[in-house]
Amino acid sequence: MKKLILDVDTGVDDAQGIMVALAADDVQILGITCCHGNTSLENVLRNTLRVLKVCNRLEIPVYRGNSEPLLAKRTHAGDFHGKDGLGDVPDEDAPGLELLQEEGAVQAMIRIANENPGEVTVVATAPLTNLAVAAKVDPSFPAKLKALHIMGGNTESRGNTTVCGEFNFVADSEAAYVVLDRYTCPTYIATWEFSCTNSLPWSFCDTWLAQDTPKARFMERVSSHTRKMVQTERYQKELIGEPGFNTCDVYAIAAAIDDRVVTEHEEVAVTVELAGTYTRGMMVLDHLDLLKKKHKVFILKKIDKDRFQRLLMNALK
Ligand code: BDR
């Protein structure tokens, strides 16, 4: 049984990823920790509970994390995900925030890792503020994890938020720096370029969202704004390869729940640019080991597309 903590900033692709994890066999979600990011922390908390409600999984504990980055100004991605993070679709029945745990996200992560040493995998699909703070509060925390999966960063200086910066690493660049420096557990990164190369074909999306289930109807509604945005020239220009729907966070979550979904990695030392005028937040790859970092990460390179699509399909059943 895989034991996971999901660290999220629930916008549309986080919601898809959470649903994929909830539907997976042999996966236990020990908690969902929330962070600022795609939208405000309050919206992220509400969105996370909405996803759990539609999946009848409100028993999974949800924790309040950091509402702002370590140093940077807050950045949200409302244009893309909708201001509320889930397409601005009214939801009269959204669960109330009284369902949240009282314990904070950072404390919960540290406690859960202490209770399950060497067994917990964290999947971070948000800015990395919660994880950076956890490593500062308890420097022994990173080594207690089984693995860390991150959606963020880039390999070819392609940006989606700034010229060279991917959203999660731009939204809290200092946190990304701390995490890549301190987390010495096996670390896997689903980068922006990886997502852009593996977008979901529109024909798949149509079938996926047309399933006659409450989960598919929910995803169809909350992703409608984002799907329209993705089809505009501005967003299709970002893609490498075939046109389609770029479900960034799902790659990181799929890689964590199914060891066979990613078929090729590149092992390399990485860090984050914190100073550049155009490059702040860009992930930097040290192919020549000039930085003499002891720890290397695994960058996702190839995916078994059929297997990936089966996970997605199953998530909305
Ligand atoms: C990342 O930014 C967010 O908008 C998405 O949810 C994803 O985590 C992609 O750059």
Task: Specify the pLDDT at position 236.
Answer: 83
Task: Specify the pLDDT at position 87.
Answer: 98
Task: Specify the pLDDT at position 35.
Answer: 98
Task: Specify the pLDDT at position 212.
Answer: 97
Question: 227, 269, 260: which is closest to 246 by C-alpha?
Answer: 227
Could you tell me where the beta strands, DSSP code E, fall in the chain? Answer: 2-8, 27-34, 62-63, 120-124, 145-151, 187-190, 262-272, 283-286, 297-303
Centre of ligand 1 from the C-alpha of residue 248, in Å? 6
Task: Specify the pLDDT at position 145.
Answer: 98
Task: Specify the pLDDT at position 55.
Answer: 98
Centre of ligand 1 from the C-alpha of residue 40, in Å? 14
249, 251, 283: residue to mutate for ligand 1 pocket, most atoms within 8 A of CB: 249
Residue 156 neighbours by CB distance under 10 Å: 13
CB-based contacts of 17, cutoff 8 Å, min separation 6:
6, 8, 123, 125, 247, 249, 250, 252, 253, 254
Q: Which CATH architecture group holds 2-315?
A: Alpha-Beta Complex (3.90)
Give me the helices (H) in 31-99, please: 41-54, 78-81
> Is the complex ipTM more than 0.95?
yes
38 CA: nearest ligand 1 atom = 4
Return the bridge partners of 4, or none. Answer: 29, 121
Identify the residue whose C-alpha is closest to ligand 1 atom 2: 167
Identify the residue whose C-alpha is closest to ligand 1 atom 10: 167
81 CA: nearest ligand 1 atom = 4
Contact between residue 20 and residue 254 where contact means Cβ atoms under 8 Å apart: yes
List per-residue pLDDT tens for the chain, 317 residues long. Answer: 999 999 999 999 999 999 999 999 999 999 999 999 999 999 999 999 999 999 999 999 999 999 999 999 999 999 999 999 999 999 988 999 999 999 999 999 999 999 999 999 999 999 999 999 999 999 999 999 999 999 999 999 899 999 999 999 999 999 999 999 999 999 999 999 999 999 999 999 999 999 999 999 999 999 999 999 998 988 888 888 888 999 999 999 999 999 999 999 999 999 999 999 999 999 999 999 999 998 999 999 999 999 999 999 999 99
Q: Which residues line ligand 1 (CB under 6 A)?
A: 11, 13-14, 38, 77, 80, 125, 151, 160, 166-168, 192, 248-249
In the chain, where the domains are located? 2-315
Task: Specify the pLDDT at position 77.
Answer: 95
Centre of ligand 1 from the C-alpha of residue 29, in Å? 21
Tokens read off for 84: 């509320």
DSSP 245: B
> HEC states along 159-180?
CCCCCCCCHHHHHCHHHHHHHH
Task: Specify the pLDDT at position 233.
Answer: 86
